[in-house]
Amino acid sequence: MLLEDVRKKMSFSFENLLKEFGGLRTGRASVTILDHIMVEAYGNKVPIQQVGTVSTPEARMLTIQVWDSSLVKPTELAIRNSQLGLSPIIDGQLIRIAIPDLSEERRKEICKLAGKYAEQTRIAIRNIRKDGMDEVKKREKNKEISADQQKRMLDDIQKITDEFVKKIDASLSIKEKEIMKV
């Protein structure tokens, strides 16, 4: 049961990393780059997906069909004020966003950000490993498991940790290549 929990928590952290990577611009249009943008709607901040339909009609174009005309301007402002460097154009209830080419400098900045996300996830994975190992040691101390079981479980937790760190490194490498591709 403990190993399943450790794997599940690490998997959740890894999935979060992939979502973060999805929000990084690569020079191609992707609906996921807007996932973290929150729009002021009806007195609350809501995800952009709750105010309209986001789509990619072309390789370098995003569109948002805003359902409520009173939310067009707040949606446009939320996109403009994000750190993505995008310039939305309003066309009735449709917002068009051309995805500009990325400069070499901007690509490197985005790679650094991807590296930061990966390192934060590695730290989270190591913290989950520490918690799991502490729990195993506590169980052995309380005589719930034998010393042999403790050794085996600690080894298993380390193997799971190594597996997820490899996945993080591989995903980061792929994302960096994607970002640097012109």
Tens-place pLDDT, residues 100-155: 777 788 788 888 989 999 999 999 999 999 999 999 999 999 999 999 999 999 99
Q: The whole model's pTM is what? A: 0.69
- The set of residues, in sequence order, having a beta carbon less than 8 Å from that of 100 and lying 6+ positions away, is 85
Label residue 39 exposed, middle or buried (CB < 10 Å: 0-12, 13-18, 19+).
Answer: buried
Which helix (H) or strand (E) is 64 found in, with range?
Answer: strand 61-66
What mean pLDDT value characterizes the chain? 88
**Model confidence pLDDT, tens digit, residues 7-23:** 999 999 999 999 888 77
φ and ψ at 61, to 5 degrees? -140, 135
Domain 2-21+103-180: what homologous superfamily? Ribosome-recycling factor (1.10.132.20)
Spatial contact of 68 and 56, defined as CB atoms under 8 Å apart: no
Which CATH number applies to 28-98: 2.60.40.420, 3.30.1360.40, 3.30.420.40, 1.10.10.10? 3.30.1360.40
- List the structure tokens of 150: 């403790």
- List the structure tokens of 169: 């490194």
DSSP 181: -
- The whole-angstrom separation of Cα 90 and Cα 73 is 8
Question: In the chain, where are the structural domains located?
Answer: 2-21+103-180, 28-98
